[in-house]
Amino acid sequence: MNRIELTRNPLIKGALKNRYPQLALFVAMLVGYLFAILAGLISTPVGNQNFSIVFVWIAWWAILILVAVPFFGRGWCAVCPIPLPGEWLQRGATLDPPHRKPGWANLRWPKFLRNIWLQNISFLLLALFSTLVLTSPKLTSVILAAMLFVALGLSMLFERRSFCRYLCPVGGFVGIYSQTAPIELRVKDKRVCATCEGKPCYNGSASGYGCPWDVFPPGLSKNTECGLCLECLRTCPHDNIAVNLRPFSADLARPSARLDEAFKAFIMLGSAMIYAGILLGPWGAVKDAAYHVGTGTWYLYAGAFLAVIFVILPVPFAFCAFGSGNRHPFKKRFSTLSTALIPLGLSFWAAFSLSFVLSNGAYVLASVSDPLGLGWNVFGTANIAWFPVLTSLLAPAQTLALVGGLVWSAHTARNAAGEVHVSPIPAILYCLAATLVMLWLLL
């Protein structure tokens, strides 16, 4: 299957170029986001009955990891409300570009931080405190509000969407996993761009803003850094931008050789395995250690968490990248080969999330009826008793996700290994071993 250009359809193209549908989604998301902050602060402190916990960590998470990322890549980023207030202030406008630029600092993001290491760190920080974050509505609210204010502050200091590109804890993994999605935004013909004057896709024009993600669209070859904001679709004077339907994981045919992205793959793989053990396993002492932040056992847990991600998972994988007489540097071999962990990690998260979401999904019904804990019963479901959803289908669905992810990873490993001229067999066996551990944890 080759590409199908969706924007060839005038209806789709019109809807994507028009700012109003996107603005409507943005505003709806922003209202929901602010409501979740409010609910976390004033509603019941019981996590599984609080709108902020239930809608952020159950409903939103399920949609993100099971639908949005696998099928739409950075589709979530296209409607995420977090950068919105900052971006409006930065631009001095909510819709079309104004005639004058607002006088904010507009600094360039420091060159040495133009990678996803900060996103790796921000995700790890959240991950280490995740049992608290997942269960405390107030803490969830504080984190949601903090992300909004940090994004706003960075918009005042730095140009474009620095928060999304370099700091957002969600954006990092959505970025690497978006390479597997069957949607892409690309330039149709790079030769047209070479002669284009003013490069409005990057610099902006009266039709739209320069790329908020600081991407030069003609150089775009992967989904990782494209936030699907569609500004380039609006600004291109030559109608040279397309949104395409494409085969799954097309970007992984050109593996990245970046160490920050390689470690993002390990962080995501390791976190999924650790959460499957801690949150869904029967070991109460480990849950206790993860929950009681600041105690001696929590430090042990945090140390073990970091050891899994930075030692136990990457060190054996490093052996997969060994090869005598190979002309590629070890770092390149290691990073390139770790591309195989991207589909594996996504399938691990899907399998974990299925279990988490199906067993806790019923809480959505109660919290939607009384989102602020004020005794409302809007949909008549406020007092509904907990019940598990479709748990009989859980194990087959998890097996399908994990074995499918393994096959997908093996395919990716073959391509990546070919790229750096090493054998794919050790990497495929590594993926098999990780899958067996995950199966044991979940089934």
Partner 1 sequence: MKIRRIGLLLLAASGLAVVFTPLPAASPAPQARTFRIDAGQFAYSPSTIDVNPGDRVTIQLVSTDVVHGLYVDGYGASVEADPGQTATLTFVADKAGSFRFRCNVSCGAMHPFMIGKLNVGTNNRLLRSMGLAGLAVAGIFLLPSFLPQGKSNQERFGA
Question: Contact residues for partner 1 (CB under 8 A)?
Answer: 46-49, 131, 135-136, 253-254, 278-285, 287-288, 291, 359-360, 363, 385-386, 388, 391-392, 395, 399, 402-403, 406-407, 410-411, 413-421, 424-425, 428-429, 432, 435-436, 439-440, 443
H/E element, 242: strand 241-245
Q: Closest approach of Cβ 350 to partner 1, in Å?
A: 15
Q: Closest approach of Cβ 391 to partner 1, in Å?
A: 5
Question: Which residue number, 156 or 384, has a Cβ lying nearer to partner 1?
Answer: 384
What Å distances lie between residue 304 and 58, 271, 307, 308, 425, CA to CA? 26, 11, 5, 6, 28
Question: Which residue number, 47 or 81, has a Cβ lying nearer to partner 1?
Answer: 47
Q: Closest approach of Cβ 184 to partner 1, in Å?
A: 16
Q: Closest approach of Cβ 105 to partner 1, in Å?
A: 39
Cα 328–chain centre separation: 30
Within 10 angstroms of residue 385's Cβ, the number of other Cβ atoms is 6
Question: Which residue number, 42 or 395, has a Cβ lying nearer to partner 1?
Answer: 395
Q: Give the Cα separation of 115 and 218 in Å (integer).
A: 20
Beginning with the edge strand found earlier in the chain, give each strand of the sheet holding 4-5 in spatial order: 4-5, 241-245, 183-187
Q: Closest approach of Cβ 26 to partner 1, in Å?
A: 31
Question: Which residue number, 77 or 286, has a Cβ lying nearer to partner 1?
Answer: 286
Q: Give the Cα separation of 434 and 211 in Å (integer).
A: 39
Q: Closest approach of Cβ 137 to partner 1, in Å?
A: 10
Question: Which residue number, 311 or 433, has a Cβ lying nearer to partner 1?
Answer: 433
What Å distances lie between residue 4 and 7, 78, 228, CA to CA? 9, 21, 17
Q: Closest approach of Cβ 357 to partner 1, in Å?
A: 11
The SS3 assignment for 205 reads strand
Beta strands in 73-170 (DSSP E): none
Q: The dihedral of CA 61, 359, 306, 285: what is its sign?
A: positive
Question: Which residue number, 157 or 407, has a Cβ lying nearer to partner 1?
Answer: 407
Question: Which residue number, 115 or 135, has a Cβ lying nearer to partner 1?
Answer: 135
* Tokens read off for 348: 């691990």
